[in-house]
Structure 1
Amino acid sequence: MEHHTILVLAGIVVLGIGCQWLAWRLKIPAILPLLITGFLVGPVFDWLHPRELLGELFFPSISLSVAIILFEGALTLEFREIRRLRGVVRNLITVGALVTLVGGALAARLLIGLPWLISFLFGALIVVTGPTVIGPLLRNIRPTQRVASILKWEGILIDPIGALLAVIIFDIIIAEGPLGNPSLIAISTFARIMIIGLVLGLLSGYITAFLIKRYWVPDYLNELFALAMVIGVFALSDVLQSESGLLAVTVMGVVLANSGLHQLHDMWHFKERISILLISTLFIILAANVSFEQLSLLGVNSLLLLGVVLFILRPLSIWVSTLNSDLSRNERLFLSWVAPRGIVAASVSSLFAFRLEELGYAEAAILAPLTFLVIVGTVFLHGSTAKWVAQRLGVAEADPQGFLMMGATAFARALAKLLKENGFNVLLVDTNRHNVRAARIEGLEAHQGNLLSESVQEDLSLSGLGHFLALTSNDEANALACVHMRDTFGARKVYQLPPREENGQEFASGLMGRILFDERATYETLESLMQRGGVIKATLLTEKFTCDEYRQVWGDYALPLLAFRGKKVIVATTDEPFQPEPGWKLVALVLEKEARRAGINAPETAS
């Protein structure tokens, strides 16, 4: 029995991470394969019975996992991001939430026939959107900064608010009996959750920041210390008042995000990995916990209810919340279309449906499958269409195939100029004002400043940029910038010049970007080639003049840099073969005059 349990738990983790990988390959929201897998191993094939597997730990483990996920999301909420949009965010989590609550309750009452209080409980469950689905969706869509900020803040802050509303309504439902006055219990519950959650969240956030800032916690324990604080605060808050823990950990995360901790980046990176693991297992467990008997309760009216949520409640909520704001019509239309539900809706609905059924409320059996229908419906429709909608409405960033270059040297300017002439967005950043001035004279977009400075990063627009090239003479700065830019561009698209031979052993492979061009193509080598009359040229490869033939003709007089076809780009690196096919344009640094003097006659280069 023990070995069987270990095998099942391991299988859930393996399936969860496998679904994440599949979602990455197919470029779809991970929640879709996770939920499908959960339904398959649960109600379809009857392999997984989560409640039997975890026993009394089923709901506590889910609640604790959700708390960690919410804390990780809250760590990204910096106030400077929404200075001009805080009114919209405030309205969305108050007025907009009320519209969804009341509208969802009316729809559940009229279309499904649920009792009024259980209808309002359903309305509270669909108030939430959630960082578990909003985050991956935004990374795929890459909407404009204003739209992304609104959706991110709403998705994180609305989760504890939705849970709070659900708790209040749940207490009102059970208070209908001999337990007390419903209105007094609702007011009392709301007050206790708000006071306990806010106080513990603020205290824990300030204490954690204080201890880490003063180095009272060793570096290797920073992330684990913060995690322990999150778990402890959540547990204490929930003991003092049921369901107040989500508010406490969210407030704690916001406090830390705005505390100025320089260790925050590592902390967030650590929590993100944990959150991915928890999300991967939770969705499978919750989906597997839904039975065929529950799914059979859904009918045509359930689909009509989903339509109301998608096409009436969300647009109405956005319209009311954005009155008198400076958001454009297209921004409002896009916000009206994107509101996928996530893990909080799934977990809270499972919890309250189970509790109400135990108390004899048979009508509550439909709550979990109805909420899962809304989750699947919103995630599927929004996940499959949001990028297309964003592009049609003009609120998506340009195709991120452009280049951010650190360094505006002669080589960088020549490469940037060719790329710009071929339709790529290029932005150069350099601390040297003479280099920046030269770049601007040549018609290039250039910014003077230190790319590692937070103020400089706030000023830069990365719209349309998908590759980072560190091209300065400082090997240490190049490596540090690449590590810093991995979160923005991904490790695969972060590159740096090879370090000088004397510095080559100082950098671990994990603390560098991908090495550009050739191991000998150091900063000094490139600048020397430019001084010898080197030019950067693009040559169209054909069936008659392939990449191999290009190398044979030019030999050591050409250094391949990258290749492109349309907006697709391949950057030459030392860790992968560089072999562009016919139809691609190969970009190289060519010693053209020296080659001609040596009697080399190559085909004319393409523009």
Structure 2
Amino acid sequence: MSLVAIVALVLALGVASRVLADRLRIPSVLFLIFAGVVIGPEVLGFVSRETFGGGLSAVVGVSVAIILFEGGYHLHLDKLRESPTALTRLVTIGAVVTWLGTAAAVVVFLETSLEVGLLVGALLIATGPTVIGPILQVVTVRDHVAAVLEGEGVINDITAAILVVVVFEVLVAGNGTPAALVGDFAMRLFVGLAFGALVAGLVWLVLDRARSRPCAAPLHARLVVLAGVIVAYAGAETIASETGIAAAATAGFVLGNVDLPYHEDVIDFLDDLSVVVLSFIFVALAALIDFADIRAVGLAGLAIVVAVTLVLRPAVIYLSTTNARFTHNERLFLSAVGPRGIIPASVATLFAVELQALGRPQEAQLLAGTVFLIIFTTVVLQAGLARQIADYLEVSPMRTIIIGGGRVGLSLAERLEQDGENVLLIDLDPDAVEKARKRGLRAIEGDGTDADILEQAGADDAKTVIATTPDDDVNLLVCQLAKTTYDVESVAS
């Protein structure tokens, strides 16, 4: 088949996988990885490592940058405030425990060197929006649970992408001392964050000062944002390798938290674009899975899978989510859902080649086999069964919206939250909103009689809307709006 025909086939399979996943309410990554395996050398043989030549790594890099930019764009500060302590622990202590614990499992079960163990461990820190996003599209969880999963996905992708390069250069290739590892990691992280923030500032400045015709302005906004993603990624990579991921994610995060012109148009564009690139790279990389590498790790590889998924992941979650807001079942859900995504898949292929170049082919095979086995297993079991796991653990409550953050509304919100309900409180008074947030509640500032505010609060998917303001007329209006406009099942005042 010609390269054009293969690209068309990959895209067609990707889109078909997404449509099928939406109909069956199963995360699309499950169908994407199976589609890739089918057209790969293990089944039909349409795609091999030689198909895309040397250009695949560049295409994957830009695609991952777009996906992480979109993930960062949706990662709003108020979302991060849902569970700041849990998220901070998960991306710091949790990342270190995952790294070192995975490295120990690799060294013990595969009897390989500590350097290779640390390299594999660094790769498998990442979960990423490529697998978490599709899960949250079909599984509804309370906001603080979703915030932890989304935040972990974006931040740990950055951590893993930089750490694996530093570990390889310092410990495997021997281009530096172990003491330089921390400094090199910090330098690359700073480059990525700083360059991403700089590009975000320039994009915002261009869009804010632009004088485009009204009919063309939304298109120009989309094009400027797309150019910003590519410039952030390519510019940071030019300065230091594997910093482009951090730059793209940072640019997305900054732009998602400022008053960006044509915000809704940009969101729609990013969502559509990410679906296309996610479909392409997941199918393409899945097609490159070499099952000979996976078979080479044998039972030792399965032991590592058990250690990573059934020992390390639960330990990291229970260390991170110690506050009372997370129910026991939510902790179990977070423990059971930690699939690995594109970053380990794309970077593992690169460093397997690097290890072969260093004359260590056996270690290259062990690295590729272990990483792809864990990706394949976690995508199939954890991502593929995420909705069933959520239903079994009963962690998918529909949203309850409370209008009015006074004494009654606040007490009711706390009681419902303790019962495991997915509660959102709305109040015009910023002090009331801040008070609710300090008590660990999800709250937004706004007028509960405003249709835009209710839409922002997710009234379309709400089970209950309760009005508790001191004004009976306002309460009546809220209930009427919720019932007639959003068809909420239950309203009360």
TM-score category (smaller protein): 0.7 to 0.9
CA–CA distance in 2 between the matches of 1:149 and 1:20? 23
CA–CA distance in 1 between the matches of 2:395 and 2:462? 11
From 102, 107, 110, the equivalent of 1:112 is 110
Q: Which has the bigger relative contact order, CA under 8 A and spacing at least 6? A: 2
Give 1:490's aligned residue.
none
1:228 shift after superposition: 0.7
Give 2:415's aligned residue.
none
After TM superposition, the runs of 4+ consecutive aligned structure 1 residues lying more than 6 A away are none
Conservation of the 8 A alpha-carbon contact between 1:397 and 1:463: no
1:121 shift after superposition: 0.9
1:8 shift after superposition: 1.7
Change (3 A) 1:54 1:212: same
Give the length in aligned residue pairs: 427
Conservation of the 8 A alpha-carbon contact between 2:207 and 2:261: no
Provide Cα deviations, 1:168-221, integer angstroms capped at 9, x if missing partner: 111123442xxx433254244213312211111111112211221233563321
Conservation of the 8 A alpha-carbon contact between 2:171 and 2:178: no
Change (3 A) 1:229 1:262: closer
CA–CA distance in 2 between the matches of 1:6 and 1:392? 44
Return the letter of the residue paired with 2:372: F
Decide which structure has greater helix share. Answer: 2
CA–CA distance in 1 between the matches of 2:264 and 2:7? 31
Conservation of the 8 A alpha-carbon contact between 2:126 and 2:153: yes
Give 2:37's aligned residue.
39
Conservation of the 8 A alpha-carbon contact between 2:103 and 2:118: yes
* 2:191 pairs with 1:196: yes
Return the letter of the residue paired with 2:96: L
Give 1:530's aligned residue.
none
Give 1:479's aligned residue.
none
Change (3 A) 1:248 1:448: closer
Give 1:215's aligned residue.
210
CA–CA distance in 2 between the matches of 1:13 and 1:388? 28
Conservation of the 8 A alpha-carbon contact between 2:199 and 2:231: no
Provide Cα deviations, 1:546-589, integer angstroms capped at 9, x if missing partner: xxxxxxxxxxxxxxxx9xxxx9xxxxxxxxxxxxxxxxxxxxxx
Q: How does 1:165-204 map to 2 (within 5 A)?
A: 165-176=163-174, 180-204=175-199
Return the letter of the residue paired with 1:258: N
User: TM-score, structure 2 length as denominator?
Assistant: 0.79
Query: Which deviates further from its counterpart, 332-341 or 19-28?
Result: 19-28
From 72, 75, 78, the equivalent of 1:77 is 75
1:95 shift after superposition: 0.6
1:262 shift after superposition: 4.5
Change (3 A) 1:5 1:175: closer
Give 2:101's aligned residue.
103
Q: Runs of 5+ in structure 1 lacking a partner?
A: 404-426, 430-446, 466-494, 497-512, 514-561, 568-607
CA–CA distance in 2 between the matches of 1:245 and 1:126? 19
CA–CA distance in 2 between the matches of 1:294 and 1:459? 46
* 2:347 pairs with 1:348: yes
CA–CA distance in 1 between the matches of 2:241 and 2:101? 26
CA–CA distance in 2 between the matches of 1:300 and 1:313? 18
Give 2:239's aligned residue.
240
CA–CA distance in 2 between the matches of 1:220 and 1:295? 46
Q: How does 1:7-406 map to 2 (within 5 A)?
A: 7-45=5-43, 47-176=45-174, 180-216=175-211, 218-324=217-323, 326-362=325-361, 363-398=363-398
CA–CA distance in 2 between the matches of 1:199 and 1:100? 27
CA–CA distance in 2 between the matches of 1:279 and 1:92? 25
CA–CA distance in 2 between the matches of 1:170 and 1:82? 32
Return the letter of the residue paired with 2:281: L
Conservation of the 8 A alpha-carbon contact between 1:88 and 1:325: no
CA–CA distance in 2 between the matches of 1:20 and 1:367? 30
SS at match of 1:333: helix
SS at match of 1:59: helix
Identical columns (%): 33
1:230 shift after superposition: 1.0
CA–CA distance in 2 between the matches of 1:376 and 1:457? 36
CA–CA distance in 2 between the matches of 1:83 and 1:90? 11
Change (3 A) 1:144 1:54: same
Conservation of the 8 A alpha-carbon contact between 1:237 and 1:244: yes
SS at match of 2:92: helix
Return the letter of the residue paired with 1:37: A
Change (3 A) 1:20 1:459: closer
**RMSD value, Cα:** 3.1
1:163 shift after superposition: 1.0
1:239 shift after superposition: 1.0
1:392 shift after superposition: 4.0
CA–CA distance in 1 between the matches of 2:127 and 2:79? 20
Change (3 A) 1:68 1:93: same
Conservation of the 8 A alpha-carbon contact between 1:144 and 1:395: yes
Return the letter of the residue paired with 1:147: V
Return the letter of the residue paired with 2:374: V
Change (3 A) 1:460 1:37: closer
Return the letter of the residue paired with 1:381: L
1:461 shift after superposition: 9.2
Return the letter of the residue paired with 2:176: N
SS at match of 2:107: helix
Q: How does 1:334-483 map to 2 (within 5 A)?
A: 334-362=333-361, 363-398=363-398, 448-453=448-453, 457-458=456-457, 462-464=461-463
Return the letter of the residue paired with 1:373: L
